[in-house]
Amino acid sequence: MSIVTGLPAFFSPQRLTEPSSVPNVRHSRSETATDNLFVNNIRFLSMAGIIGVHTLGSSGSLFHTPSTAESISYFTQPLKFGTIGFFLISGFLLGERIDQCSPTRYFVRRLRNVFLPWLVWYVLFSALRLSSDLIHRRVEQLSFTSVYHACGQYLLTSPYWFVPNLLIALAIILALRKHLDDIRIGFAFLVASLFYSVNIYGHWATSQHRAAVFGFVFYLWLGAWSARHFKQVEKWIVNIPKSIVLALVLLSLALALGEMRLLYVIGSNDPANSLRISNQVYSVMVVLAIVRMRSAVWPRFINVRENTFGLYLTHAIALRFVVSAMTHAHVYPVASSTWEASMDALAFATAMFVITYAGSLVVVRTMMAHRSLRWAIGLPVKRITLERTINTSIPNKTISSQLPLGSASSFEHRPSRATG
């Protein structure tokens, strides 16, 4: 189903759970909750938003003017809910399963299924950037110190900062798993997030959200807490009038744009920071609106559960090749004004987004088809054989309860009752 066809049923006041396409199969409580439609909707839209933000930023760099870069930042704001969205659904999936195995075993499984694939792609990305920096003499010599500092910079200026931050937050939540229902714990994490939002102005610590180690723990906790109290949360959400939801989304977007403008005026070095208080509110409001959706918003050719982690891992490299090709081909025009430059950048970003997303998806699908490569995008090798066995015994291929539980990550691969 396309995004457009999924929107008319946006504010249906029905339950948020996705109807089963295999009614004769019995599901456990945790499986049913995890198959909520909104989890996949948040996955798809958050990843699309993240890739969109990165392509917009890259397109702005093609024009080499500070004023254009500022204009481009305003275009990114409507898409900047993705990071917090992923922390929320990561926590939601974690909250459903946190009591099912020991914390150590759980965390080790996350290292194997998430960290190791991440490490492969981060090393590849760093090798590509380091090669380019050496060729253009942005790195003068190939020494351990220079490579170490360069790779650290690559981490903080690329999408690859997310997984280490997520794993640190996950370790904190697992260490406090017995107290997850305590609102005081959540309040402490909220204070940490608010500190980073104020620190953007005060600069008492590093102000970049990519380096904010404790900045997103609150949203992982909030997702986990919501999963553990899902019936109450669901009842509260469906009773919010649609006009209120829309008003909150639009109001928080306006505030986020206003705060971004304020940060530009005062000379902030990171005016588009995801941990701005206005953007934190905006992200939660967007996620709240997505939860209210009653239709799948992703195209049928995308398997959200299997493709999302691979898209995250590969899109930075794909985008780098796209930008390099456009730069060397000189396909971008020279605008006569900031407005024209911004519109040109927006048009090019749209084209770059399509190319980057499609290219990354092709890479992910290709790796999915080879058993020996599936681990590198976080998918189990045995999945192919298991799926074939199930599909031969059950006509409908969209069944989940017959398969083992996947990883509790926003990128987890877990078969669903929903097609896609």
* Residue 401: burial class (beta carbons within 10 Å; 0-12, 13-18, 19+): middle
Euclidean distance between CA atoms 130 and 112, whole angstroms: 26
What pLDDT does 331 receive? 66
Lowest mean per-residue pLDDT among 49-63, 154-168, 345-359: 49-63
Q: How many CB atoms lie within 10 A of CB 239?
A: 8
Q: What is the pLDDT of residues 359-389, one digit of tens each?
A: 999 999 999 999 999 999 999 875 444 444 4
Comparison of pLDDT for 144 and 334, the residue scoring more: 144
Note the helical H segments in 98-241.
Answer: 103-110, 116-135, 144-156, 162-175, 183-202, 217-228, 230-238
Q: What is the pLDDT of residues 103-122, one digit of tens each?
A: 889 999 999 999 999 999 99
Domain range summary for the chain, segments of one domain joined by +: 3-393
Q: What is the pLDDT of residues 267-290, one digit of tens each?
A: 988 899 999 999 999 999 999 999
What pLDDT does 70 receive? 80
The stretch 63-92 carries a mean pLDDT of: 86
pLDDT band at 205 (very low <50, low <70, confident <90, very high): confident
Give exposure, 244-271, as e/b (b: 16+ Cβ within 10 Å).
ebeebbeebbebbbebbeebbeeebeeb
Q: What is the pLDDT of residues 393-415, one digit of tens each?
A: 444 433 333 333 334 456 655 44
pLDDT over 70 at 320, yes or no? yes
The structure's pTM equals 0.81
The stretch 191-218 carries a mean pLDDT of: 87
**Residues above pLDDT 90, as percent of the chain:** 55
What pLDDT does 171 receive? 96
pLDDT over 80 at 418, yes or no? no
The stretch 222-226 carries a mean pLDDT of: 95
